[in-house]
């Protein structure tokens, strides 16, 4: 009987040793630190249990799609541009200046109507006047100046200056200046026709050549709506707008001018004479 108990005890001890050896082998294979031991049988038992529980390996990141990974990247703040300063009725926006210009006057019927509209919107313009018209209506020349507008020369009789001889060209400029009452600071050659000879003749007198970049073609009388649309759709800060207050029926021009002044003023534009004139 004692022999059987002794054999059973030996077998149990051997089993314990095998089990402990297996545990230590597993711990070493997993790279885990050895168990912390404490004195006494109870301490050794706790250490054996703890080491027998495999340590959880460090979690590996789950592969993510490029789109999902991009969501985690730091993003630059979106900067929205400030809205443009919007002008309202009776208010102008700094830098929004346009230059209204009128050719072929002064005309006793149309020039006063143009002046009235400009005054209503507190707008100023530049009038390029023909010498023969200015000589016939000197009171209108004075009226234009008195309203704060500028006057430039537009030849004596609307001739193409590029087709004239130098003496003829000089005569056109001289006679126009006399009719205007003073030498203009700028000249607009009829039809915008300018070559080296014309430019030299003008600049040698201390004057400048003034052209345009928004052509309403109002002299073709396409209708007030078409004239206004041309100006409103093409005007930008600094635009020089060509219209006419003489040379024919300018009723459409007057109607269009009212629309132009109202619409562009509501967008913050103000209207000034050409600075070189």
Burial of 273 per CB tally in 10 Å (0-12, 13-18, 19+): buried
Residue 30 pLDDT: 40
What pLDDT shows up at residue 42?
36
Q: 60, 103, 104, 171: which one is catalytic?
A: 103
Euclidean distance between CA atoms 100 and 274, whole angstroms: 8
Q: Catalytic one among 149, 158, 244, 245?
A: 244
Is 160 one of the catalytic residues?
no
Q: CB burial class (10 A; 0-12, 13-18, 19+) of residue 179?
A: buried
Domains in the chain (CATH in brackets) are: 97-271 (3.20.20.370)
Q: Which residues are bridge partners to 219 per DSSP?
A: none
| Structure confidence at residue 95 (pLDDT) | 80
| DSSP string of 30-70, one letter each residue | HTPPPPPP-SSHHHHHHHHHHHHSPPPPPPPPPP--HHHHH
Phi, psi of 242 (to 5 degrees): -100, 120
| Confidence (pLDDT) at 60 | 35
Q: Is 137 among the residues known to form the active site?
A: no
Note down pLDDT in tens along the chain; length 277 residues: 443 444 444 344 444 433 444 433 333 334 333 333 333 333 333 333 233 333 333 333 333 333 333 333 333 332 222 233 333 334 456 689 999 999 999 999 999 999 999 999 999 999 999 999 999 999 999 999 999 999 999 999 999 999 999 999 999 999 999 999 999 999 999 999 999 999 999 999 999 999 999 999 999 999 999 999 999 999 999 999 999 999 999 999 999 999 999 999 999 999 999 999 9
Task: Yes or no: say if 134 and 141 are a contact pair by the CB < 8 Å rule.
Answer: yes
Global confidence as pTM: 0.68
Position 248 scores a pLDDT of 97
Tokens of 222: 């396409």
Q: Which residues pair with 105 in a beta bridge?
A: 129
């Amino acid at each position: 009987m004692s022999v059987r108990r002794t054999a059973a005890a030996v077998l149990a001890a051997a089993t314990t040793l095998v089990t402990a050896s297996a545990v230590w082998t597993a711990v070493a294979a997993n790279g885990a630190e050895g168990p912390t031991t404490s004195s006494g049988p109870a301490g050794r038992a706790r250490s054996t249990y703890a080491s027998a529980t495999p340590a959880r390996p460090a979690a590996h990141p789950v592969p993510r799609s490029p789109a999902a990974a991009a969501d985690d990247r730091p993003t630059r703040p979106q900067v929205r541009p400030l809205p443009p300063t919007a002008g309202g009725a009776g208010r102008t926006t700094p830098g929004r200046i346009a230059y209204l210009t009128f050719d072929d006057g002064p005309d006793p019927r149309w020039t006063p109507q143009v002046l009235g509209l400009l005054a209503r919107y507190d707008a100023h313009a530049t009038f390029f006047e023909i010498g023969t018209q200015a000589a016939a209506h000197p009171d209108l020349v004075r009226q234009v100046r008195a309203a704060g507008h500028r006057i430039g020369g537009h030849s004596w009789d609307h001739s193409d200056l590029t087709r004239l001889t130098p003496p003829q060209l000089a005569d056109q400029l001289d006679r126009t200046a006399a009719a205007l009452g003073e030498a203009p600071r700028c000249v607009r050659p009829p039809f915008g026709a300018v070559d080296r000879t014309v430019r030299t003749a003008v600049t040698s007198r201390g004057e400048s050549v003034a052209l345009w970049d928004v052509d309403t073609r109002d002299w073709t009388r396409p209708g007030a709506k078409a004239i206004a649309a041309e100006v409103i759709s093409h005007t930008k800060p600094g635009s020089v707008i060509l219209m006419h207050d003489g040379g024919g029926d300018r009723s459409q021009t007057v109607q269009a001018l009212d629309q132009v002044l109202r619409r562009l003023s509501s967008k913050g534009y103000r209207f000034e004479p050409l600075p070189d004139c």
